[in-house]
């Protein structure tokens, strides 16, 4: 009787359909096409009743095989496949497989909306990608006293090919970083790569019995969950209406074919932002991890799909397409600054204009086609001609933005603060590239980068180098030196200026004083003549007028 009872339980479990959309987590229904969660029943495969090895093994271990009727026998693989489907609602199915979606059906969520779903004193993990760090780092999440917050830095394989740099050296750097820049003492920081399975075990060891992932869309939350499921196994749980009450089903679910079962449990990963619209709990090992919808810090920020070609945007957002060999080879493009304003671009996503007389190397990590133009006016003309004569435009492959981006009014002129050596320029939700001025140092002017309105930009010293050098310095001095530089700013915002502004250095100083009005300690060297600093090559870059407000 016990055997038949267990068999019945297993049969019911195998024949129970998942009731939430795999991609967005919303409850599914097939009654009303006009309501959310609507899906269409998938076609069923023909049932195959022939016994297989699994059936035979089960029958051999029952107490009385002859008494097991055909109706109570274990379901065949075909029956399992028919019932256990990877189901998406129509909204997600159209978006993922037909490239058709309505913007209004993918609404943004504010941090407050997401935080309201988290019980007080819960373990929260703020997920931030290293590719455009620190743009996605939200100080209010880290310092919120109602939660126990840790920092997870994802996509580490896109800034370094060295796993040990993330595993051994990054924690020390970011501990000092949190102390210096955020004013908190914390050892709860992990730099990782979910796709490469780097440091996934460190994440698992930090998880509490119940933990919550908080971050912007497309920062790697769902990819991390899948990496944890792959390593520690687990399953998706039923999410009850009352948040935090996740119903676990019986362990007998694991009797399903393991590979297919794991595939059914994985989180839906998509290049489309705001895909997730419901809290999705996962049982991973002995812990429960909640995947929350991504939130937007600026609810009115520009949508990338409003001006970037869909194919190019998919390449940008699909991090598994990142060409890691560039990290090792460091292949670069050379660009010489000219009086006419020669510029460098990647598919029209931005335009970098170096000062006249400089020779520069650009190592690009953003998907797209690199191109140089005589000046920005010529570049914008190419965009316009491409759409007006799309059949014969010779430079069509270098244009990855919409026709409206052929107007200067669609861009913001960002002036980069002075630097020496190599810097990285990060564009939020797009990626980063390295910039280095070669040859004998002499200050010849300020660099500019023209970026579409609404796109946040920042500059930083090369992140992997900061981590490496900070760790080595700390070890040599037996931890007497901090791993994160405190005598200079290593991150900075850019300085947006009018198109016709000529005296950009003086204007930059004025803006710097305004930005640091509440941060007097950040005003290093502000009393000195800027040219006395800029005309001299320093052993460590002075980073004049560098400032980033967290």
Q: Which of 246-255, 348-357, 387-396, 452-461 has the lowest mean pLDDT?
A: 246-255
The number of C-alpha atoms within 13 Å of 376 and in the hemisphere containing its C-beta is 21
- DSSP annotation of 66: G
Across 458-477, average pLDDT: 93
- DSSP annotation of 279: -
Q: Which pLDDT score, from 0 to 100, does residue 246 have?
A: 42
User: What average pLDDT does the structure give for the chain?
Assistant: 82
Across 154-173, average pLDDT: 93
Q: Which residues contact 532 (CB under 8 A, 6 or more apart)?
A: none
Alpha helices in 124-220 (DSSP H): 139-142, 163-164, 170-177, 200-206
pLDDT at 371 over 90: yes
pLDDT at 162 over 60: yes
pLDDT at 43 over 90: no
Of the candidates 399, 345, 393, 401, the one whose C-alpha atom is nearest the C-alpha of residue 373 is 345
Q: Which pLDDT score, from 0 to 100, does residue 266 have?
A: 54
Q: Please state, as a whole number, how many other Cβ atoms lie within 10 Å of the Cβ of residue 288.
A: 20
**What is the rounded CA–CA span in Å between residue 384 and residue 381?**
5
- Provide the token pair at 517: 């009005």
CA dihedral 63, 64, 67, 73 (to 10 degrees): 50
Of the candidates 322, 83, 15, the one whose C-alpha atom is nearest the C-alpha of residue 195 is 322
Q: At what angle do helices 170-177 and 463-476 cross, to 10 degrees?
A: 90
Look up tokens 């020779």; give the residue.
359
pLDDT at 134 over 80: yes
The residues spanned by each domain of the chain are 2-83, 107-291, 308-460+494-534
- Provide the token pair at 331: 């292949």
**CB 428, CB 136: distance < 8 Å:** yes
pLDDT (tens digit per residue) in 267-304: 544 556 666 667 889 999 999 999 998 898 887 778 89
Look up tokens 């107490």; give the residue.
63
pLDDT at 79 over 60: no
**What is the rounded CA–CA span in Å between residue 465 and residue 160?**
9
Q: Which residues contact 362 (CB under 8 A, 6 or more apart)?
A: 332, 333, 334, 335, 344, 352, 370, 433, 434, 435
Q: Which pLDDT score, from 0 to 100, does residue 278 have?
A: 73
Residue 473's SS3 state is helix
Residue 425's SS3 state is strand
Q: Please state, as a whole number, how many other Cβ atoms lie within 10 Å of the Cβ of residue 458.
A: 21
Of the candidates 308, 325, 327, the one whose C-alpha atom is nearest the C-alpha of residue 317 is 308
pLDDT band at 3 (very low <50, low <70, confident <90, very high): very low
Look up tokens 């600054």; give the residue.
337
Per residue, the 3-state secondary structure of 71-139, as one string, reads CCCCCCHHHHHHHCCCCCCHHHHHHHHCCCCCHHHCCCCCHHHHHCCCCCCCEEEEEEECCCCCCCCCH
Paired with 343 in beta bridges are 373
- Our CA angle for 311, 316, 321, nearest 5°, is 95
Residue 289's SS3 state is strand
**What is the rounded CA–CA span in Å between residue 266 and residue 264?**
6
**CB 158, CB 324: distance < 8 Å:** yes
pLDDT (tens digit per residue) in 393-442: 778 899 999 999 999 999 999 999 999 999 999 999 999 999 999 999 99
Look up tokens 């297919």; give the residue.
260
Across 462-468, average pLDDT: 96
- Provide the token pair at 196: 């490469």
**Start-to-end CA span in the chain (Å):** 64
Query: What radius of gyration do the chain's Cα atoms show?
Result: 27
Q: Which pLDDT score, from 0 to 100, does residue 476 have?
A: 85
pLDDT band at 247 (very low <50, low <70, confident <90, very high): very low
**CB 410, CB 416: distance < 8 Å:** no
Q: Which residues contact 56 (CB under 8 A, 6 or more apart)?
A: none
- Provide the token pair at 183: 């004013």
Per residue, the 3-state secondary structure of 219-266, as one string, reads CCHHHHHHHHHHHHCEEECEECCCCCCEECCCHHHHHCCHHHHHHHHC
Q: Which CATH number fits domain 107-291: 3.40.50.300, 3.40.50.450, 3.40.50.2300, 1.20.810.10?
A: 3.40.50.300
- H/E element, 310: helix 310-317
- Write the CA distances from 410 to 223, 302, 403, 499, integer angstroms: 34, 12, 11, 12
Of the candidates 240, 318, 233, 227, the one whose C-alpha atom is nearest the C-alpha of residue 278 is 240
**CB 419, CB 498: distance < 8 Å:** no
């Amino acid at each position: 009787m016990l055997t038949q009872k267990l068999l019945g339980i297993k049969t019911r479990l195998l024949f129970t359909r998942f009731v939430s959309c795999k991609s967005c987590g919303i409850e599914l229904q097939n009654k009303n096409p006009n309501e959310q969660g609507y899906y269409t029943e998938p076609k069923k495969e023909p049932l195959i009743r022939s016994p297989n090895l699994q059936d035979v093994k089960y029958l051999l271990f029952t107490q009385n095989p002859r008494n097991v009727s055909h109706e109570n026998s274990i379901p065949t693989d075909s029956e399992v496949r028919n019932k256990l489907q990877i189901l998406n609602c129509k909204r997600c199915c159209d978006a993922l497989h037909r490239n058709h979606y309505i913007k209004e059906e993918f609404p943004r969520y504010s941090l407050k909306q997401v935080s309201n779903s988290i019980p007080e004193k819960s373990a929260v993990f703020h997920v931030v990608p290293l590719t455009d760090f620190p743009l996605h780092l939200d100080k209010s999440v880290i310092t919120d006293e109602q939660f126990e917050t840790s920092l997870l830095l994802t996509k580490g394989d896109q800034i370094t090919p060295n796993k040990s740099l993330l595993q051994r050296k990054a924690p020390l750097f970011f501990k000092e970083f949190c102390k210096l820049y955020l004013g908190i003492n914390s050892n709860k920081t992990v730099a990782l790569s979910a796709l490469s399975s780097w440091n996934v075990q460190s994440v698992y060891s930090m998880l509490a019995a119940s933990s919550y992932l908080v971050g912007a869309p497309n920062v790697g939350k769902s990819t991390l969950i899948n990496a944890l499921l792959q390593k520690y196994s687990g399953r998706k749980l039923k999410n009850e209406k009352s948040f935090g009450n996740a119903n676990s089903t019986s362990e007998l679910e694991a009797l399903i074919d393991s590979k297919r079962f794991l595939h059914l449990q994985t989180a839906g990963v998509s290049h489309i932002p705001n895909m997730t619209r419901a809290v999705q709990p996962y049982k991973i090992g002995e812990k429960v991890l909640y995947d929350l919808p991504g939130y937007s810090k600026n609810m009115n920020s520009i949508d990338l799909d409003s001006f970037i070609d869909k194919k190019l945007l998919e390449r940008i957002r699909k991090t598994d397409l990142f060409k890691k060999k560039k990290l090792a080879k460091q292949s670069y493009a050379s660009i010489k600054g000219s009086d006419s304003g020669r510029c460098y671009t990647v598919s029209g996503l931005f335009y970098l204009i170096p000062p006249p007389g400089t020779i520069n190397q650009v190592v690009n990590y953003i998907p797209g086609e690199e191109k140089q133009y005589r000046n920005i006016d010529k570049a914008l003309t190419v965009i316009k001609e491409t759409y007006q004569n799309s059949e014969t435009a010779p430079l069509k492959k270098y244009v990855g933005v919409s026709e409206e981006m052929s107007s200067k009014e669609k861009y913001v002129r960002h002036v980069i603060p002075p630097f020496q050596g190599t810097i990285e320029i990060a564009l939020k939700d797009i990626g980063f590239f390295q910039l280095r001025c070669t040859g004998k140092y002499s200050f010849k002017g300020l660099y500019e980068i023209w970026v579409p309105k609404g796109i946040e930009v920042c500059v930083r010293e090369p992140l992997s180098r900061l981590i490496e050098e900070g760790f080595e310095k700390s070890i040599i001095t037996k931890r007497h030196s901090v791993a994160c530089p405190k005598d200079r700013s290593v991150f900075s915002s850019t300085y947006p200026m009018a198109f016709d502004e000529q005296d950009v250095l003086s204007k930059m100083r004025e803006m710097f004083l305004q930005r640091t009005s509440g941060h007097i300690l950040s005003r290093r060297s502000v009393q000195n003549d800027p040219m006395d600093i800029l005309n001299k090559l320093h052993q460590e870059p002075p980073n004049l007028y560098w400032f980033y407000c967290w």
